[in-house]
Structure 1
Amino acid sequence: MGRKRRTSDSEALEVPISTGIARLEPVPGEPDSWVLHVNGVPSSSITIGDPLRLDLEYLDWMSRVVDTAFAPGTTLRAVHIGAAGCALPRWIDAARPGSRQTAIDIDAELVVRVREWFDLPRSPALALRAGDGAREIRTFRDGAISLVVRDAFSGDATPAALRTPEFFAEAARVLGADGIYLGNVADRPPHTALRIELAEMRRHFAHLAIVADPGQLRGRRYGNVVALGAHAPLDAVALAKTMRRGPAVASVRAGADLDAFIGPGARS
């Protein structure tokens, strides 16, 4: 996969976008690799020649969830809310050829820029759409989607519209019986935002799990947690096994252990 022409390979590029500023930085010593910052927050790490490489640990965790939840060779109908540089859509396109994906981003100019900077798969393999994910999720048919990924931020927080009962109800509606919802939740101890979000998800998905750095769950640092929602049971044992093999080891909580983490007092 080739890279489209842009500035000198050794230079960072900063451009205005609809919501602020996007900055594309080369990774030192790796002329094929770039980090995309949106309004000062690292949003994607892209290696042009290797779409299977996912440097951000939470994206690696998400890829391992996909490989655990869906049989090898299964093609996906995926919706990504929060497109940024489309690192996970690129991975899915390479790992599961024939998948059809839609990536939605609130920033119309960013959607144009990532098409310019990165040689992304074309529609129907990957359709890019500018719009509000909380509204766009309503456009998909009941049970038509196998994977919904919510990875959208305003600064370092998830937009309020993507944490509402209405949003989770729509995500649950569009997922098929064996579908998976993945949410990237950035939080810090005592994990109030995460617990509130999980309590709301519990109202719409029969089965939940989380994947996170063990130290974060013990209350030591800020970081990303991957929240899973599904209509069908999740294989927490298989998930835990694959997370122990990853480059960034993660813990999995599900069932009664997760219920205890959420607690009875969490309120949306």
Structure 2
Amino acid sequence: MDNWLDVPSDDEPGAVSWTREVRFGLAELRTDEERPGGWLLTVNGIAQSYVDLDDPTYLELEYLRYLGYVVDSLESQDKPLDVVHVGGGGATFPRYLSAVRPGSRHLVIEADAALAEFVEERLGLRSVPGLELRIGEGLTEIGTLPVDSADLVVADAFEGLRIAAGITGAEFTAAAARVLRPDGIYLLNLVGTRHQLDEIYAVFPYRILLDGDVFAGYRGNQVLAASRFPLPLDALYRRLEDAIPPVRVSTESSL
């Protein structure tokens, strides 16, 4: 059942939120009083996405900035991209890429049909330029896609605080590699510090891990970028020189 709550709360006076029961729990969309177009999506109280409808280039969540840093370091920065997103949420990253790389095409694979419907109703999921939504399990759906058809595969699929089953396994990794073009990049959102990534390392020889600078006191999501082609490290380091908060980059030799 969809509930519209327009009663101001003590901690966020004037905030408006909607809630809905979805496959993996209770989803909530809440306005950001500091940004008129800002909406935070949570599931069971865990932040999933932040969308600014007025400025799709604004990336509130740090891990999305990490994704942006990698993509913005690629050559031909105005070139449209073909992107497969496993995990939809509020479609923050498709919105970002559609703004900075007009003409990009996005296939969003979302396992939670109720969540996708909720986001569509409130945030206009299907209004994102070039976006196609497909409801289904990531491993199943990515296996149906053509060979060498994507520049990026972005895996951002969670069940609570856990990565969706199979995302880091051999079968999904092989499917991602099959779909990616030879110079394509696999981007994976990680939570925590312990992950079994050997299957990914075996397929993608070039890898970097971006996370918060622990010396500055930041810990949170990490982003793994993996490829069969050398990654644009020099351009990435230039991008990160003025990043706030600071970002730490680990290369394949230290992973």
Question: Taking structure 2 as the reference length, what is the TM-score of the superposition?
Answer: 0.89
RMSD of equivalent CA atoms: 2.0
**Residue in 2 that maps onto 1:248:** 245
Give the whole-Å Cα distance in 2 for the aligned partners of 1:121 and 1:111: 10
**Paired letter, 1:115:** E
**Residue in 1 that maps onto 2:166:** 161
Equivalent residue for 1:149, pick from 151, 154, 161: 154
Give the whole-Å Cα distance in 2 for the aligned partners of 1:10 and 1:253: 39
Q: CA deviation at 1:221?
A: 6.5
Q: Given that residues 236 and 252 in structure 1 are in contact (C-alpha distance below 8 angstroms), is that contact kept between their aligned partners in structure 2?
A: no
Equivalent residue for 2:49, pick from 34, 44, 57: 44
Which structure 1 residue ranges, 5 or more long, are not aligned?
A: 1-5, 263-268
1:10 matched to 2:7: no
Q: Give percent identity, aligned residues only.
A: 33
Give the whole-Å Cα distance in 2 for the aligned partners of 1:13 and 1:123: 21
Give the whole-Å Cα distance in 1 for the aligned partners of 2:57 and 2:126: 14
**Residue in 2 that maps onto 1:79:** 84
Equivalent residue for 2:110, pick from 105, 114, 118: 105
Give the whole-Å Cα distance in 2 for the aligned partners of 1:123 and 1:49: 13
With over 3 angstroms needed to count, the CA separation of the structure-2 counterparts of 1:209 and 1:161, relative to structure 1, is same
Give the whole-Å Cα distance in 2 for the aligned partners of 1:46 and 1:122: 13
1:214 matched to 2:213: yes
CA deviations 1:141-163 (Å, max 9, x no partner) are 11110000001111111022112
**Residue in 1 that maps onto 2:199:** 200
Give the whole-Å Cα distance in 1 for the aligned partners of 2:114 and 2:126: 18
With over 3 angstroms needed to count, the CA separation of the structure-2 counterparts of 1:56 and 1:148, relative to structure 1, is same
SS in structure 1 of the partner of residue 221 of structure 2: strand
Q: How many residues align?
A: 245
Q: Given that residues 236 and 254 in structure 1 are in contact (C-alpha distance below 8 angstroms), is that contact kept between their aligned partners in structure 2?
A: no
Give the whole-Å Cα distance in 2 for the aligned partners of 1:24 and 1:117: 8
Give the whole-Å Cα distance in 1 for the aligned partners of 2:41 and 2:225: 25
Equivalent residue for 1:231, pick from 228, 232, 240: 228
**Residue in 1 that maps onto 2:130:** 125
Give the whole-Å Cα distance in 1 for the aligned partners of 2:186 and 2:171: 15
Which structure 2 residue ranges, 5 or more long, are not aligned?
A: 7-13
